[in-house]
Structure 1
Amino acid sequence: MTYDFRDKVIVVTGGAGGIGGAMCRRFAGGGARLVVVDIDEVRAERTASELPGTGHIYLSCDLLDRAAVERGLDSIAATHGRIDVLVNNVGMTSAERFDVRSVESIEREIDLNLLSPLVATRLAIPLLRASGDPRVITAVSLGGIFPLGETPIYTASKFGLRGAMLAIGLDLRGKGIKAGSVLPSATDTRMLQQEAVDGGNSMQFQDQPQQPADVVRAVVSLLDRPRLEAYVRPSQSRLVRFAMLAPNLLPRLFPLFRKRGERGMARYLEDLRRRGLAHQVGGQWELVEES
């Protein structure tokens, strides 16, 4: 089956970002009415205004502020009366190592990556039930299967989110709401670019980073054929699952892949330089500020 986007009300959190914006454009191009949710009001408004079609709105919302989330859902209820698809897409990571980062930064990353999608989904249930075919899609990560030593808090949040959404998907399916997750690997977005210049996890650069459009195709495939999980690159799913059959072997396996990952990161940084997105200052990589 091919999902019919026409007149569907689709809410995308992190909707002004690289992956979120690509989703919004794809869904709007199919005839959906988008609710672009982002903490950056200027970017959210610009994204909504540039979408094809009509009926799009934006919400400037800090997903860690429950009252703000509730106000946003009240606004959606007043405007549309329902949510057909909720896409939990917001997320963050940090290149700070666990043994030196602040406890406050740990709490914030867990709250944003793990708790905020669960809270948003729970609070959106009444509006989802008002739809004739409600869906929830959550962007998790291969980091929800494969431990990333340089970013353990990201790993913790994504392990937890993956498990929670599997359980929620099983629970809600019998109640008429289809829920599934997409598990992308490294994707060429501002977040990955920042991680690269900060010297983050090199293991994710085994291959050329995928594009936001690749993640969007995986999301559309979940809408076309609802299931609990979808992978952007099936080959990576098989590799990760194989490695996790014997987790105690990981310390021995990682050195085999690290050099390749470091070379891949170096190539990615040079690609960012060629694209005018990053440069070196005093031997240190920095992102070029967005206009």
Structure 2
Amino acid sequence: MNNKHSTLLDGRHALVTGAGGGIGQAIAVALASHGARLTLLGRDAAKLEAVRQQLPGDGHGQVLADITNHQQVQHAFAEAARARGDIDILINNAGAARSAPFGKTDPELWQQMLDTNLGGCYHGIHAALPAMQRHGWGRIVNIASTAGLTGYAYVAAYCAAKHGVIGLTRALALELARSGITVNAVCPGYTDTPLLQAAIHNIVAKTGRSSAEAEASLAASNPQGRLIQPEEVANAVLWLCLPGAEAINGQSIAVAGGEVM
């Protein structure tokens, strides 16, 4: 796959966290298809390499880092900038979801959800923002969740973290509004990814329902009665990064078939 579909993002360096599959992979493919040079960030080199080989165009690479570790993120972003130039587009996609009744949400689970889902965004933005400010242009897209816009039972820590991502998005969008940098969030509903399949397996194990029944219960929250596809999330992210979306700032865009309005 070496043919670019367009050149609208030619010369732009995009870094995607959590890029080893699922939504992150779909976003990387979408951005590369419009000419961006990609850096894929994650913790599994083999998965990142498999995604890199699928990307249209040339000059893409990968870096390893734990998104919850500030120093690792700073080092990885600096390495990416040396290899492919300053980062113009940052997609904070890495995340994790664990469920438990609030009474069984221990401090470790609580902190893990905050560190991964909210702290990861902070670390990434902190590393990429100075170069964006120097150049007077940047696109930051935080992959939040409909859990950042509404509440769900048994995932209080996850909801709290994703609500925090929305708050961070809104605050930074105002702070940076005159700088040429936009900050937005994309909020998927239940999306057909390996992460969701793990959740389905967990439901099956705990309830005895079949995989089909468990999947149907999740899809039922979407008024369209289906799971969101990773490419649909990627399309929303891509639009926010393309020319013509400069006025879209501080928004939290639900990709959920009308579940959240």
Q: How does 1:48-127 map to 2 (within 5 A)?
A: 48-127=52-131
| 1:75-110, Cα deviation, whole Å (9 max, x unpaired) | 122123311100000111013333224321221111
1:208 to 217, 226, 231: 226
Structure-2 separation of matches of 1:51 and 1:75: 20
Q: Which has the higher contact order (CA 8 A, sep 6+)?
A: 2
Higher helix content, 1 or 2: 1
The 1:204–1:163 alpha-carbon spacing in structure 2 relative to 1, beyond 3 Å, is farther
Structure-1 separation of matches of 2:7 and 2:137: 11
Map of 1:220 onto structure 2 = 238
Structure 1 counterpart of 2:151, which letter?
A: P
| 1:116-137, Cα deviation, whole Å (9 max, x unpaired) | 1012102211222344531101
Mapped pair 1:166 → 2:170: yes
Map of 2:48 onto structure 1 = 44
Q: Secondary structure at the match of 1:12?
A: strand
Q: Secondary structure at the match of 1:26?
A: helix
Structure 2 counterpart of 1:223, which letter?
A: C
TM-score by length of 2: 0.84
Structure 1 counterpart of 2:234, which letter?
A: V
2:254 to 231, 251, 264: 231
Q: Give the deviation of 1:57 after TM superposition.
A: 0.6
Which structure is larger by alpha-carbon Rg, 1 or 2? 1
The 1:233–1:64 alpha-carbon spacing in structure 2 relative to 1, beyond 3 Å, is closer
Structure 1 counterpart of 2:199, which letter?
A: E
Q: Give the deviation of 1:74 after TM superposition.
A: 1.5
Structure 2 counterpart of 1:237, which letter?
A: V
The 1:173–1:31 alpha-carbon spacing in structure 2 relative to 1, beyond 3 Å, is same
Structure 2 counterpart of 1:190, which letter?
A: P
Q: Secondary structure at the match of 2:41?
A: strand
Map of 1:242 onto structure 2 = none
| 1:33-52, Cα deviation, whole Å (9 max, x unpaired) | 10000111211122123312
| 1:2-31, Cα deviation, whole Å (9 max, x unpaired) | 992122100000011200001111111221
- Show structure 1 runs of 5+ residues with no match: 239-291
1:20 to 5, 24, 30: 24
- Show structure 2 runs of 5+ residues with no match: 1-5, 207-213
> Number of paired residues?
237
Q: How does 1:249-264 map to 2 (within 5 A)?
A: none
Contact 1:12–1:24 (8 Å) recurs in 2: yes
Structure-2 separation of matches of 1:103 and 1:66: 21
Map of 1:241 onto structure 2 = none
2:186 to 159, 182, 185: 182
Alignment root-mean-square deviation, CA: 2.1
Structure-2 separation of matches of 1:3 and 1:117: 28
Contact 1:141–1:182 (8 Å) recurs in 2: yes
Structure-1 separation of matches of 2:82 and 2:113: 31
TM-score by length of 1: 0.76
Structure-2 separation of matches of 1:48 and 1:204: 30
Q: Give the deviation of 1:203 after TM superposition.
A: 6.0
Q: Percent identity?
A: 28
Q: How does 1:261-280 map to 2 (within 5 A)?
A: none
